[in-house]
Chains A and B, each alone.
Chain A
Amino acid sequence: MIQLKHILSVAVTALMLVTGSAFAAGQLSVKVLDKQGEALPGAAVWLTGQGLAEDQKVLTHQYKMGQKNRTFTPHLLIVPKQAEISFPNYDSILHHVYSFSPAKTFEFKLYRDQPQALTFSTTGAVELGCNIHDWMLGYILVVDSTHFAVTNADGVAHISLPVEQLKHVELKVWHEGFMDLDKPESRQLSVIRSGEQLKVQLQQTLGMFQDDFSDEFDDYE
């Protein structure tokens, strides 16, 4: 009986997903490729243009940049200008989060269950570090848009579109491996349609030094 219920619920969910994506009228898919033509996960993609109305839900969303197991989660958070972000610490240990980026300079020590919050009113990339755990690195990207997404493991970002068709929009792409973190790459698009699948290849080579082997025993550095 329980098994039958389980199968039913899985089937219903699957059906909803299929119909959901088939009728997702307001969505644009962007596949980001690096200069070598490989799919690029972790890239931020957003749209700007006069025809784009602000999405109020995106503006008032409760954004969170957490710290869990000595990493920033999410690693990259993209938010609209004026967004308020809280910084919950899910670890039992203290973190000392800081940024020296021009878009937002701040520092605070964060205890578990005592989050601090900040409003981000300048666009640009905010690079986060922890003064106790040197290897922790995270990004907040503040953009002049409410239509954005981060590419998934296949390098694809799904951006919601308020209308079926839009003219004269600018598509911007950003990645933490860029030479200048405050210079996103951009494309002028004369027209985009809902359901369309775009491909964007980056013009610059990414500087991506691989992750290190930090673990909990590197705390005592």
Chain B
Amino acid sequence: MSLMTMNKPFHWLTLAGFSALLSTAVQAKNIQYKGVVQANWQNSSDYASWYDRGVSVNRFGTESERLNLSRAAVDLRTELGSKWSLLASAQYVPDPDSKLGFTELFAQYHTLNKGPWQWQGRIGGFYPRMSLENPDIGWSSPYNYSYSAINAWLGEEIRTFGTEVSFKRSDSRLPRRQRSGHNWELVGALYKGNDPAGTLLAWRGWAVHDRQSVFNEAIPFAPIYALKAPPLAKQAWRTEPFTEVDGRFGYYIGAHWDYQKRHTVRLYWYDNNGDPSIVNYQTGQYAWDTKFYSAAYRFKITRATHLVMQAMGGNTAMGKRRGVDNDFSSQFVLLTHKWLDYRVSGRVEQFNVKDRDFWDFDPNTSEGGAVTLTGRWQVTDHWHVGMEFQYLESKVANRADFKLPTRQTEQLWRVSGELRF
């Protein structure tokens, strides 16, 4: 299982996390948890998923048309005095080979002071808060079952192992008569790890799914021919996205603004500051020089009808002379409406990767888009069910390696049941 294959720092972080949580849970009843167990059925795809070495860009690939446990996740929070909290999200996913681990584990510092100004800090492994699509348990989406390509990618290849500091002004902490409606927050983070981020975009392309990676994850992908060529022969047919390769610090900066929590904007610049000439021969992982912006906007048109949008664009490169050098971008628009215990959500998105290098043996170009419609019903507080239809189109140049058409269109139906506790 995962503990066997994970590399050392994550091994220790995971073990330390589990033991810290267990000992706290044993000592105190003061542990807050929110959990979900999700099962689903999806109609079969023509090809296997990337982690089954196939070329499909949806999660279940050919391993569907049966009832799967798709995810069990729990958010835990416990207090360490008045200013510190310990937060964790752990998950179990069956695909591709039963994996249990943390998606987030961090200590959070929160000042308590009079007035609207506040310092916050986080130390550990966590998501940058650049998205507005994933505010539910275990960073899942309350809207569509499969996340947008942008957030599917953040979920599989982006995680911060380091420290984040933010300074915020919360208008809502003022007496009502002194409010202006404007809240804002400035965020900065320094971290290690996350050097191979970008690998999947280059060799698989964007995908639309809800398979988040845990801390120690190694994600396989299709055995494309380019990795058999001498310049890329040191690269493994998998990525270990959160590992440290070049020994350098990465950073991100961000700004949040909202007006009355009705208009919300988040702008981020992320740079893992990778040195693309460095490779870890043992694990077959390169440091990719990956940098991108993310801009997210949410408009609560009414209290029940919300619009969520996000755009991302950037560049990722590896190799001494940036032999693999790609620009990537994606955008989505999501409209959701909640009525009584029902929620309907629709999302339209597009994505592409542009190959900018001159290594013809390694075509990285890909493009595509998806339309996703989801209806969800909260039958009770504990039982939720729903159905999703997705039209997914993708064109990936290196599918030609397998004598397969580069363009794929899929029409996917997914039925889902959840137990929440």
Residues of chain A at the chain B interface (Cβ within 8 Å): 92-94, 96, 98, 100, 107, 109, 111, 114, 127, 129, 131-132, 134-135, 137, 176-179, 181, 206-210, 212-221
Contact = CB atoms under 8 A, between A and B. Distances in A.
Nearest to A93: B32
Given A94-B77, A131-B112, A137-B172, A217 B177 contact: no
Contact of B178 (A131, A134, A207, A210): A207
B172 A93 contact: no
B189 to A, nearest CB: 16
B176 A209 contact: yes
A220 B30 CA distance: 20
Given A93-B34, A215-B303, A219-B135, A107 B82 contact: yes
Contacts of A206: 177
Contacts of A207: 176-178
Interface residues of B, number: 32
Given A107-B112, A135-B261, A218-B261, A213 B177 contact: no
Best-surrounded residue of B142, B172, B181 (most CB of chain A within 10 A): B172
Best-surrounded residue of B30, B77, B142, B260 (most CB of chain A within 10 A): B260
B395 interface: no
A135 B172 contact: yes
A217 B179 CA distance: 22
Contacts of B82: 96, 107, 109
Contact of A111 (B32, B136, B176, B185): B32
Given A212-B262, A214-B261, 17 more contacts: A93-B32, A109-B82, A111-B29, A129-B173, A134-B172, A135-B172, A177-B176, A207-B176, A207-B177, A209-B176, A209-B181, A212-B261, A213-B261, A213-B303, A215-B261, A216-B135, A221-B256
Interface in B168-184: 170, 172-173, 175-181, 183
Best-surrounded residue of B110, B176, B179, B262 (most CB of chain A within 10 A): B176
Best-surrounded residue of A92, A127, A134 (most CB of chain B within 10 A): A134
A134 B173 contact: yes
